[in-house]
Amino acid sequence: MRKEMLLRVALLLLPTLVLAGWALSLPLLRAAEPMMRVRLAGFDPRDLLRGHYLLARLDIAGLQPGRSGAGDCVCLTPGGADGRPGFIPLPACTPDVLSSCAYPLADPGRELRLYQSQERAVRLEALLRDAKVRVDVAVRFDGKGGIALEDVQVDGKSLPETE
C-alpha cells in the first residue's frame, strides 16, 4: 500500500518537474539569442476585435514596404545611427542558409503585433507620427528566421505604462 502511494506521488511530480524545468530554461535560451534594436515603421495600435495591439513593420533600409512573402528570407546587417538595418537577400530559407547569417529574418515585410495597453498605444501612436521621435524595439533572432519582440523604446528610453 505504501509503495503504491509513493509511486502515485512520483508519477504526479515527474511531469510537473519536467514542465517546470522546461519553463525555467526558456529565458536562458532566449538570452543567448542574438539581439538588434530596430526602428518601427507606422502602426495602428487599436484592434477592437482582438485587444490593443501595436501593429508595425520593422523599418529596414532599402526594403519595399508591404508583405514580401513567407518564402522570402533576408540577412539583416546592423544599421547606422538612424536605427535602420540593411539587408542581404538570402537564396533560400533552408536551415543551412539561415545558419550562415547572424540575424536571419523570414518574411521581412510582415506586420508584427505587440500587445499594448490602450493608454500606452495611444501615446505611442502620437509619438510615432512625430518625425523627430525615434520608436524602436528589441528584436531577438532564433536563427531559423523567426523573431521575438520586446522592450519598445522612445528615443532610447522605455515608455512607462502610466504617467
> Domain range for residue 131?
34-158
Number of domains within the chain: 2
Supply the pLDDT for residue 48: 44
Supply the pLDDT for residue 49: 44
Percent of all residues in the chain with a pLDDT value above 90, rounded to a whole number: 1
Kindly state whether residues 43 and 109 are assigned to the same domain: yes
Query: In whole numbers, what is the pLDDT of the chain averaged over residues?
Result: 78
Kindly state whether residues 8 and 76 are assigned to the same domain: no
Kindly state whether residues 27 and 48 are assigned to the same domain: no
**Residue 139: CB partners within 8 Å, gap ≥ 6?**
35, 36, 37, 38, 58, 147, 148, 149
Residue 55 has pLDDT above 50, yes or no: yes
Q: Residue 25 falls within a domain, yes or no?
A: yes
Q: Residue 74 falls within a domain, yes or no?
A: yes
- Give 73's strand partners: 106
Kindly state whether residues 116 and 74 are assigned to the same domain: yes
Kindly state whether residues 13 and 64 are assigned to the same domain: no
Supply the pLDDT for residue 66: 63
Q: Residue 145 falls within a domain, yes or no?
A: yes
Q: Which residue has the higher pLDDT, 122 or 4?
A: 4
Kindly state whether residues 2 and 20 are assigned to the same domain: yes
Kindly state whether residues 28 and 38 are assigned to the same domain: no
Kindly state whether residues 12 and 81 are assigned to the same domain: no
Q: What burial class does residue 7 get, using C-beta atoms within 10 Å of its C-beta: 0-12 exposed, 13-18 middle, 19+ buried?
A: exposed
Kindly state whether residues 6 and 55 are assigned to the same domain: no
Q: Residue 129's pLDDT band (boundaries 50, 70, 90)?
A: confident
Kindly state whether residues 39 and 28 are assigned to the same domain: no
Residue 47 has pLDDT above 60, yes or no: no
Kindly state whether residues 147 and 74 are assigned to the same domain: yes
Q: Residue 163 falls within a domain, yes or no?
A: no
Query: Which stretches of the chain are DSSP H helices?
Result: 2-31, 95-98, 118-129
Residue 80 has pLDDT above 70, yes or no: no
